[in-house]
Structure 1
Amino acid sequence: MFVIIGYVFMCTCILGAYAFHGGELHVLWQPSEVVIIFGGALGGMIAGYGGKPLKATLKALPSVFKGSKYTKAFYMDLFALMYELLSKVRKEGLMSIEADVEDPHASAVFSKYEKVSHDHHVVEFICDYLRLMVGGNLNAFEIENLMDVEIDTHHHEVEVPATVITKLADGLPAFGIVAAVMGVVHTMGSLHLPPAQLGELIGAALVGTFMGIWLAYGFVGPLAASMETKAAEGTQVFQTVKVTLLASLNGYAPQVAVEFGRKALSSTERPSFKELEEFVKNAKGK
């Protein structure tokens, strides 16, 4: 949503100011130069990132036009889920959650928290490490190292689309210059034309530089920044689960382990201690 709002505001300011001073908007519409700029940049992107990175980028693009799913409400559900699982472990032992972690989709505990259960990656992360805890063959230090490796791998993977779009944005100004130079070459071959027509050709050539810079910094660059933000939000979820599980593994009570996880959150998503305490207790009683 904010991407669209930003685009509309930017276009209104740039084009509105241009038109206010007498500029003719139709002059900026140069389809051939748009094809040169975007075609060249996209071709380079495909050549450099074809295959899995390109597929991941196409899959990630729609997410930048949606709000974040990792909201305060999501984390409240996540903490309630973790609290209920860890309380069950504390009262009935680790083997009591074996069925829950082996098949979370059939688990009565997981099904209560739809915001979390619909996120396959988060559920898999939780279940994998609870399964290791049930096995009892790894200590807290070994599990923490393994978590760090997986989180780093996940973060590098989800950052790929942002990297691809950043490279696309980096190439657009250069291909804008290419379009402008080609326009100048065309103009130099048309010197026999009247000055008015030559002026139009020169203006069209200069539009190439303008379009390349505008598309890069006004449209494509912000997409890459939004993707980076989305990647960081996803990584924070795993960090929160990690801190909570390690606190439990080190012997802290469920309510304290959940508090450890709460402290790992950014202030914009972090519930208050009292708010979280009441929520997890009410959710467990349902």
Structure 2
Amino acid sequence: MDKISLAGIVLGLIAVLGGQYLEGGHIGALVQPTALLIVLGGTLGAVLLQSPIHIFKRGLKMVKWVWIPPVIEQKRQIDQILSWSQLSRREGLLALENYLPGVKDEFVRKGLQLLVDGADPERIRELLEVDINTFEDEWRQSAKIWESAGGYSPTIGILGAVMGLIHVMENLSDPTKLGAGIAVAFVATIYGVGLANLVYLPIAGKLKYYIARMVATREMVIDGLVGIAVGDNPRIIEGRLRGYLL
């Protein structure tokens, strides 16, 4: 559990609701189901229209990273590459073939297979970088649905505000209906801006961070495998790979 994510959301809610209370307003005044329906429904519709369904589904699944970060085992990967480096220097690259069945990561297994097959170091880098570029593009597109929601939400909130004001203007002759219409108008704007800046955009930022770390880990693997291919000393490989650690 990523406690800082939970703390961020709680702190944001306390700031907004606490500010409303300190100003003498009622917290219940911010509860407007109609305004919430307009903002959430409108934002969802816009994001669905923008995104292919597989990108949208993946983006929804990725949101769990905010609470349970993906496992990025850079240190374990470095230790594994160093053991391969030492073995290859003693017994040759073909000795690494025995490790292929035990490598679960498809990207690492592909790189190791190229290494065992005796591929040129630059060819190994070229082929694996194509995989990295595809991987990064697909996952960034999925994370972008949250960034897009953060862009649409305030505008949909303004749309809800205009709709509320239209309702107010239609009922000027009936003062009993004015309060509800004005409340929906202003609360819709609060929902739109609040969700964008307290939920959608922060989620997008955190997902992009984890994607960047996964990409960096793959780039680290390329550096390690290429180092083995050119016959670098394991200490040199270790020093270069540890530069990727945060």
TM-score by shorter chain over 0.5: yes
Task: Please classify the TM superposition score into its range, dividing by the shorter chain length.
Answer: over 0.9
SS at match of 1:27: helix
Name structure 2 gaps, 5 residues minimum. Answer: none
Deviation, structure 1 residue 35: 0.7
Deviation, structure 1 residue 197: 5.0
Match of 2:65 among 60, 63, 66: 63
Match of 1:163 among 144, 159, 163: 144
The separation in 2 between residues aligned to 1:150 and 1:37, in whole angstroms, is 38
Contact 1:172–1:216 (Cα < 8 Å) also in 2: yes
The separation in 1 between residues aligned to 2:94 and 2:213, in whole angstroms, is 32
Indicate the residue corresponding to 1:86 in structure 2: 85
CA deviation digits over 1:48-90, x for unaligned, max 9? 21321012112211112124533xxx32221111111221221
Is residue 2:39 matched to residue 1:37?
Answer: yes
Contact 2:34–2:184 (Cα < 8 Å) also in 1: no
What is the one-letter code of the residue matched to 1:212? G
Deviation, structure 1 residue 212: 0.6
CA deviation digits over 1:26-60, x for unaligned, max 9? 11111011111110110121122132101211221
The separation in 1 between residues aligned to 2:219 and 2:159, in whole angstroms, is 45
SS at match of 1:213: helix
Match of 1:229 among 202, 209, 222: 209
Deviation, structure 1 residue 149: 1.6
Alignment of 1:99-114 (within 5 A): 99-101=98-100, 103-104=101-102
What is the one-letter code of the residue matched to 1:79? I
SS at match of 1:69: coil
What is the one-letter code of the residue matched to 1:233? R
CA deviation digits over 1:139-175, x for unaligned, max 9? 1122222222221111111112221111111110111
SS at match of 2:145: helix
SS at match of 1:23: coil
Indicate the residue corresponding to 2:195 in structure 1: 215
Contact 1:28–1:204 (Cα < 8 Å) also in 2: no
Indicate the residue corresponding to 1:49 in structure 2: 51
The separation in 1 between residues aligned to 2:24 and 2:239, in whole angstroms, is 60
Contact 2:153–2:196 (Cα < 8 Å) also in 1: yes
CA deviation digits over 1:186-211, x for unaligned, max 9? 111111223x7524431331111111
Indicate the residue corresponding to 2:153 in structure 1: 172
Q: Which runs of 4+ in 1 moved over 6 A?
A: none
Name structure 1 gaps, 5 residues minimum. Answer: 106-119, 269-286
Q: Whose relative contact order is higher, 1 or 2, with alpha carbons under 8 Å and at least 6 apart?
A: 2
The separation in 2 between residues aligned to 1:126 and 1:259, in whole angstroms, is 20
Q: With structure 1 as the length reference, what TM-score do the two structures score?
A: 0.80
The total of aligned residue pairs comes to 244
Alignment of 1:94-243 (within 5 A): 94-101=93-100, 103-104=101-102, 120=104, 123-136=105-118, 138-194=119-175, 198-243=178-223
